[in-house]
Structures are given as structure tokens and as C-alpha cells.
Amino acid sequence: IQADGNVKAGALALDANVAQVAAEAGIAGLEFFSGIPGTIGGALRMNAGCYGSETKDVLVSCEALDRQGRLHTFTPDDLHMTYRHIELPDDYIFVSAIFRGQKDNPENVLARMAEIKSKREASQPIREKTGGSTFANPPAEDIAKAGLPEGTKVWQLIDMVGGRGLKIGGAVMSEKHCNFMINEGGATAADLEALGEEIRKRVDERFGITLRWEIKRIGEP
Ligand SMILES: Cc1cc2nc3c(=O)[nH]c(=O)nc-3n(C[C@H](O)[C@H](O)[C@H](O)COP(=O)(O)OP(=O)(O)OC[C@H]3O[C@@H](n4cnc5c(N)ncnc54)[C@H](O)[C@@H]3O)c2cc1C
């Protein structure tokens, strides 16, 4: 915790630990990190966020190494951070970040974190084998073009095309939150990708919307 209330974290720190340390020190603004499973490095790369806040909103600056070992400092503007996306070559490695915090009473901050936790427990299958949200919410213009109500979320599209509970091999779209793909046990990468692609096909056919995978896929299934 810095004298000005900002919080410096290494890229390997867990988001949840950063939120907890900040909360106990009476620093508000980083509560949303408590709900994101992963590290600060992953949060920077994904511009991770939840419940109305995302990494770019609180990021002051971050440091990353390039393949030649040179250290670079970036602001959110430098990285053109948008919804679950940043612009930086894949081979840059984040090493640390400074986040903006505001002074608050630790009890208030901890209470907000507890609220996030209970919301998640109630609405997401967080105890299952899952990678979290499978697809990003489509841009507002795609939703408007499809004639859908403003603010329609990707889980609603998946639901409308019969995706909730849809299963291929050991892979299933969660009954609890149908944008979460679950490995029920023994799902292969091919099962998971085929299920995701089936959802994308159905949503494209019905609404003309091309869903963007939020889960990063590596290699060939
Ligand atoms: C149950 C569940 C719920 C989730 N809920 C949310 C949510 O609400 N909001 C949300 O945004 N995400 C959510 N996620 C997705 C995931 O938690 C986030 O994307 C998280 O930021 C990933 O962090 P990680 O450290 O696990 O990174 P990884 O998943 O290991 O990697 C993600 C990407 O970041 C890159 N990366 C990781 N570390 C570094 C580094 N140091 N430097 C450069 N690149 C790096 C990787 O190469 C990869 O491209 C959820 C996932 C699960 C399983």
C-alpha cells in the first residue's frame, strides 16, 4: 500500500489476495478483484472485471517485460483496454501494476466483498470445473442490429437458442449460468470446443451475431 492510497501488486499476486490486503488496509475500489479467480497478470491481459468494474478503471500503470528483457511502463490508455481486451503483443509479460484506491473504512470494504461473494455463489457454478464466462457479451451495436432489447446479455442469447444444459460428450453449458461451460468429467478439448462452436452457430443463425470466445483456446483440440 503506497502513501497516496494506491496499491502496488506483483503480477503473480492473486486478485483475491490483492482485494483482501487492500480491504484490510481500508482501501476501497478493488473489491471486484475478490470475485475473479486468477492473478494480476491475467487480470491485466484480460482486462478482467465484474459487477460494473474492470481492471482498466483502477489501473494507474503497469510494467511488462518484452522478449529482449526490456522493462516497459504502460498506462491503460497505452494498452487501449476495452471489454476483456487489451492491445499488447502476446509475448509481453506483465510483472507488476499500480492500482488506484480510495480511503474507506475496512468494514465497509469487506462488507462489499462479502456481497460480491454471495452474489457469485448464488448465480454462478463456481465450484464446478469451469473456465468462467465462455463468450464475451456482444457489442451494443450487434444487439441493436439484431432487434434485441438494449443490454441483452450473452447468457440470454444462449438460453434463447436452447443452449442451457446443452451437452457434447463430457462438456455441458451450465444449468445455473448458461454462459459457463462445465467439464462434467472426462470432457476432451474437442468436446468443449464443439459445444462452444455449436452455440456460436445457433446464435449466428438466429440473431446474426458472431459470439467472441472469452476463453483463450490454445493449440488444436
Ligand atoms: C469460475 C470462474 C469465474 C470467472 N469470473 C470472471 C469474471 O467475473 N470476470 C472476468 O473478467 N474473468 C472471470 N473469469 C476468468 C478468469 O478468472 C480471468 O480471465 C482471470 O483474469 C485469469 O487470470 P489467470 O491468472 O488465471 O490467467 P490465465 O487464465 O492463466 O491466462 C489468461 C491470459 O492472460 C495471460 N497472462 C497471464 N499472466 C500473465 C502475465 N503475467 N503477463 C502477460 N500475460 C499473462 C495468459 O497468457 C492468457 O493469455 C472467471 C473464471 C472462472 C474459472
pLDDT in tens, 141-195: 999 999 999 999 999 999 999 999 999 999 999 999 999 999 999 999 999 999 9
List the chain domain ranges: 7-123, 130-207
Is 84 among the catalytic positions?
yes
Pocket of ligand 1 (CB under 6 A): 11, 35-39, 41-43, 45-46, 48-50, 93-94, 126, 130-133, 216
What's the pLDDT score for residue 219? 86
Looking at domain 7-123, does it have CATH number 3.40.50.10490?
Answer: no
DSSP per residue, 97-128 = EEE--EE--HHHHHHHHHHHHHHHHHHS-TTS
Ligand 1, atom 6, residue with closest C-alpha: 36
Between CA 103 and CA 23 the distance in angstroms is: 10
Per-residue model confidence as pLDDT tens digits over 117-145? 999 999 999 899 999 999 999 999 999 99
Q: In the chain, what is the greatest distance between 2 CA atoms, to the nearest angstrom?
A: 54
ipTM > 0.95, yes or no: yes
What's the pLDDT score for residue 10? 98
49-50 and 53-54 beta bridge pairing: antiparallel
> Which cell numbers in the block locate residue 1?
500500500
The residue annotated as part of the active site, out of 84, 112, 200, 202, is 84
Task: Report the topology of domain 130-207.
Answer: 3.90.78
What's the pLDDT score for residue 220? 82
Say if residue 89's pLDDT is above 80. yes
Residues with Cβ within 8 Å of residue 104, at least 6 apart in sequence: 26, 27, 28
Task: Measure 80 CA to ligand 1 centroid, in angstroms.
Answer: 18
Task: Measure 147 CA to ligand 1 centroid, in angstroms.
Answer: 32
**CA separation, residue 62 to residues 49, 55, 75 (Å):** 17, 11, 7
Across 139-176, b (16+ Cβ under 10 Å) vs e yields eeebbeeeebeeebebbebbeebebbebebebbbbbee
Is 214 among the catalytic positions?
yes
Say if residue 221's pLDDT is above 80. no
**Do the Cβ atoms of 168 and 195 come closer than 8 Å?**
yes
Q: Residue 180: what are its φ and ψ, rounded to 5°?
A: -100, 125
What's the pLDDT score for residue 84? 95
> Which cell numbers in the block locate residue 194?
464443439
Between CA 156 and CA 178 the distance in angstroms is: 8
Per-residue model confidence as pLDDT tens digits over 13-58? 999 999 999 999 999 999 999 999 999 999 999 999 999 999 999 9
